[in-house]
Structure 1
Amino acid sequence: MSRAWPAALVFTTFTFATDDYVVAGVLPEIAAALRVSEAAAGQLVTAFSLAFALAAPVASVVTATWPRRRLMFWALLVFTGANGAAALATSYAALMGLRVLAALAAAAVVPAAYAIATSLAPEGRQGRYLALVMGGLTGSLVLGVPIGTWVGGAYGWQATFALGALMGLISLVAVMATLPDAPAQPAMPIRARLAPLGRAPVLAGLFGVTAIVLGSMMVMTYLAPFLRDLAGTGPAELGVVFAVAGVAGLAGGQLGGRAADRWGADRALLVGVTAFTVVMAAFVACWLLRPLPLLGLLPLLLVWAVASWWIPPPAQARLLALAGEAGPQALALNSSAVYVGVSAGGALGGLLIEGYGPGALPVGAAAAELVALLSFWWASRQSQAAGSAASERTRSGSAPVAT
């Protein structure tokens, strides 16, 4: 088996995340060229995210029995073609349709990439392989989006989509050259495949994932006004903060994955949420002492970034364990839960700022992470209780009952 397949999957998730977020960097150019408002151009990002969130669970079920290499090939081919056509689009409607098409292709690939990583990972290393593939998402914010924005500024917004098509093509070649033919799921009725996803522990785990992302994005989305009022941070300094935080986030994701493998998902999750909550408490204290120098806040910002990206890998590993044989479908719903969390974090963070000011953001974020931890704790308790009940029925000789 080629050892390069993880890198191919990382670059693939990097490509998709870059393609989603980079539009924000060339919004004025797109709006001017297609003669629409910047608000309307911004809906290109919304449409991509919404299409992905809705399509990922459906695609996971529909393609469950497809050979993984075949699925990746066709989806990446569609993604590459959609971006190539977007570079030639001359109307807003056409560009919107092509963005939705690219999102549908991404929705088929990203959950499959997570499922492939867990199925091919060496024994005891699922957490770090999940973190590795997830690193493509973090890397897109640090490297992909800035590069795509620069390309658009230097050569026009069409070049940004041409870059997306090129990255899609590179992903396709890399996946086909390195990915072993990972087995698809055995054929079974759709109802049977979906049944485990209706279990209370799985639903609680998905709610926990949404709360985790909500808490993190509540701060990330409004970091600019928070640091402006806390330390007088301007756009130039904020760019440096985002870059440094992105690098720290990459490290945090890898550390969280390794911790999930070494300590177990529950303990790793507890450590990450505890660290996040402590940092939020420190931010509240800093707010009360404002203004403070940005340099003095940098260590806290680094710990915040590490903790924010530490948490998702053990959360995903725990969700996989809760879902059992429906793991691939749970990972697809996980992707949808992430997008719901991103949207809700921005909305709730905005309400907090309007009602109480930026200083309320750390309080809301910490509360969301604690809710997530309670959700996973409850899910674990319910799963253990169901397992104990099943074992008891087996010992007593009675027929097992589905939980």
Structure 2
Amino acid sequence: MVLGIPFGVLIGEYFGWRYVFAMIAVFSLITALAIYKFIPSSKGEQPVPLSNQLSILKKRKPVIGLLISLLWITGYSAVYTYISPFLQENTGLSVSSVSFMLTVFGISGVFGSYIGGYATDKWGVPKTLFLSLILHVFALFALTWAAGNFVGAAIMMLSLLTAIYAFRPERSRDLFLEKHTR
């Protein structure tokens, strides 16, 4: 996220989207070969039948947790889709400036992950989830008013991405799945 999105935007703008996918394919191949060479093999576990996996959907709280994760992922995926055009059209940034800003936003996501871990340890999962979602909502609404102002838009985007990564869907999974399915 910190480097991939900005480089992808930059390469896509100057060389076309095909090069972005080719670059990802090459990096994926290198990663697969490195895993094959350096990660020791281990025995797998007995596969869990699909019927057992789907049985969790009979319980209310895991379904709520999964829906929260689904909505959250859908929401921030939509935001990521429009970050570059938003910044270019509303703040007048060039492609290289957008790429730089995406790097800064990625760093804010790393910072958000740290904040989320700290907040979860200090206040617990429900309160951290609630506060993160409130910041998320505030940043999205404020972004609509800050759109024409580079500084305002940058601050709201930093707030938004910090909020997104402060409470990742994996943590909401912990809230609803682990406590209620054992």
User: What range is the shorter-chain TM-score in?
Assistant: 0.7 to 0.9
Distance 1:182 1:307, change over 3 A: farther
1:259 and 2:115 are equivalent in the alignment: no
Uncovered stretches (5+) of structure 2, i.e. residues with no partner: none
**Paired residue secondary structure (2:65):** helix
Shift of 1:251: 1.9
Asked if structure 1 preserves the Cα contact closer than 8 Å seen for 2:7 and 2:99, the reply is no
Structure 2: distance between partners of 1:173 and 1:258: 35
Asked if structure 1 preserves the Cα contact closer than 8 Å seen for 2:6 and 2:99, the reply is no
Structure 1: distance between partners of 2:48 and 2:88: 55
| Aligned residue among 137, 151, 157 for 1:295 | 151
Structure 2: distance between partners of 1:196 and 1:266: 21
| Aligned residue among 168, 175, 187 for 2:39 | 175
Asked if structure 1 preserves the Cα contact closer than 8 Å seen for 2:146 and 2:152, the reply is no
Structure 2: distance between partners of 1:275 and 1:297: 15
Distance 1:298 1:192, change over 3 A: closer
Asked if structure 2 preserves the Cα contact closer than 8 Å seen for 1:268 and 1:314, the reply is no
Shift of 1:257: 3.0
- Aligned residue number for residue 181 of structure 2: 324
| Aligned residue among 116, 126, 133 for 1:273 | 133
**Paired residue secondary structure (1:257):** helix
Count of residue pairs the alignment pairs up: 175
TM-score by length of 1: 0.37
1:141 and 2:9 are equivalent in the alignment: no
Q: CA RMSD in A?
A: 3.4
Moved over 6 A (4+): none
- Aligned residue number for residue 374 of structure 1: none
Bigger radius of gyration:
1
Structure 1: distance between partners of 2:109 and 2:131: 16
- Aligned residue number for residue 142 of structure 2: 282
User: Larger RCO: Structure 1 or Structure 2 (Cα < 8 Å, ≥ 6 residues apart)?
Assistant: 2
Structure 2: distance between partners of 1:222 and 1:205: 26
Structure 2: distance between partners of 1:228 and 1:314: 33
Structure 2: distance between partners of 1:193 and 1:243: 38
Give the 5 Å matches for 1:4-403: 138-139=1-2, 141=4, 145=8, 160=23, 161-176=25-40, 184=45, 191-287=51-147, 291-292=148-149, 294-312=150-168, 313-321=170-178, 324-325=181-182
Distance 1:285 1:245, change over 3 A: same
Uncovered stretches (5+) of structure 1, i.e. residues with no partner: 1-137, 326-403
CA displacement, residues 15-69 of structure 1 (integer Å, 9 cap, x when unaligned): xxxxxxxxxxxxxxxxxxxxxxxxxxxxxxxxxxxxxxxxxxxxxxxxxxxxxxx
Structure 1: distance between partners of 2:7 and 2:146: 32
Asked if structure 2 preserves the Cα contact closer than 8 Å seen for 1:251 and 1:306, the reply is yes
Asked if structure 2 preserves the Cα contact closer than 8 Å seen for 1:228 and 1:234, the reply is yes
Shift of 1:188: 7.0
Shift of 1:239: 1.2
What one-letter code is carried by the residue in structure 2 that aligns with 1:317? D
Distance 1:322 1:174, change over 3 A: farther
CA displacement, residues 137-170 of structure 1 (integer Å, 9 cap, x when unaligned): x3563588589x69xx7xx969733432221122
Shift of 1:281: 2.5
Structure 2: distance between partners of 1:266 and 1:237: 37
Structure 1: distance between partners of 2:72 and 2:118: 19
Shift of 1:255: 2.4
Structure 2: distance between partners of 1:272 and 1:175: 36
Asked if structure 1 preserves the Cα contact closer than 8 Å seen for 2:109 and 2:161, the reply is yes
Shift of 1:219: 2.2
Distance 1:258 1:271, change over 3 A: same
What one-letter code is carried by the residue in structure 1 that aligns with 2:28? G
